[in-house]
Amino acid sequence: MKRLFLFFGRVFGLVDKPVLSITRANVEEEAEVLLSGVQDSNGSEVDEVRLFRNALEFSNVLLKDCIVPRTELEAIDVNAGIEALRQLFVESNCSRILVYKENLDNMIGYVHSSDMFDQPEDIQSLLNPLIVVPEFMAANKLLKIFLQRKKSLALVVDEFGGTSGIVTLEDMMEEIFGEIEDEHDEDEYVAKSLNKDEYILSGRLEIEQVNEDFGLSLPVSDDYQTIAGLILAYNEILPQKGEVVELHPNFSFTIIRLVATRIDLVRLKVLDQEG
């Protein structure tokens, strides 16, 4: 196990003095020795083999290969106001929101949800600084920066300084160790009641479950099972972010977030349950 930690330290540049003379050839040679020693081992050691191989592959990964792209970022203008920021935290289910000035290519920081407990007067007073890195930086170099500075979020920019996306420490750990469960992951589908007539819902929630949980009467059909399916059945084309889809006369859906061609998060407003 000690050799395992030393190996990872060398791959990621976390071991101080040996790094000065270490080369990729040295790392690969040592990896082959370690891997050959566990070929006939038990299950836990097979997992170590997987980690070694992932670590070697990770040493070749560039940030552009593991970013959350700008089209999927949750961000807000610094002048939008505290209430708008609070609402975005509720709707997005994110723990951190990026803050820009005028456009997404001028990111000036981020706000953590825990900062909202301080009863701030404006967004500017909540800003945390961003680590800014180029998209062609090696991912293992940023991992070292994260660990040294005790940070977990970086803004990735292209060669012209424009925003490409973000990378988190969790993203990097998943590259090495596989999927990591997180309390904010969207696999835990969002189903929040804002008041008696408004709800924030994941598009993948099953309609029958939503009806049962909130006492609603959303239309059901053999043609669809989920909230996203219901919206597509009535709208017939993929709606845009911010678009309102009305199911007259009872309900309206506002599209909060799209992921590629998938309706990911919506706001449901009950207009007339009796209609």
Q: Which domains does the chain have, with CATH numbers?
A: 2-60 (no CATH), 65-177 (3.10.580.10), 191-270 (3.30.465.10)
The pLDDT of residue 238 is 85
Over the stretch 24-38, which tens digit does the pLDDT of each residue have? Answer: 445 445 445 544 554
pTM for this model (two decimals): 0.55
The pLDDT of residue 9 is 56
Structure token pair of residue 273:
């349950």
Rounded to an integer, the average pLDDT of 238-267 is 87
Region at 180 (left for phi over 0; alpha for psi -120 to 50; beta for the rest): beta
Q: Is 206's pLDDT higher than 60? A: yes
Angle at 137 between CA 165 and CA 23, to 5 degrees: 150
Over the stretch 37-66, which tens digit does the pLDDT of each residue have? Answer: 544 445 444 555 556 566 666 677 888 888
Residues pairing with 108 in the sheet = none
Query: pLDDT-derived band of residue 19, with 50, 70 and 90 as boundaries?
Result: very low
Percent of the chain scored above 90 by pLDDT? 35
C-beta neighbour count of 179 within 10 angstroms: 10
Residues pairing with 133 in the sheet = 156
Percent of the chain scored above 70 by pLDDT? 72
Q: Is 214's pLDDT higher than 90? A: yes
What is residue 197's three-state secondary structure?
Answer: coil
Long-range contacts formed by 53-58: CB under 8 A, 24+ apart: 54/175, 54/176, 54/177, 54/178, 55/7, 55/8, 55/11, 55/12, 55/176, 56/11, 56/27, 56/28, 56/31, 58/11, 58/139, 58/140, 58/172, 58/175, 58/176
Residues pairing with 266 in the sheet = 201, 255
The pLDDT of residue 130 is 95
The pLDDT of residue 82 is 93
Angle at 245 between CA 240 and CA 247, to 5 degrees: 160
Rounded to an integer, the average pLDDT of 97-103 is 95
* CB-based contact 190:201 (threshold 8 Å): yes
Q: Is 99's pLDDT higher than 90? A: yes
Residue of 30 and 67 predicted with greater confidence: 67
The pLDDT of residue 124 is 94
* CB-based contact 158:152 (threshold 8 Å): no
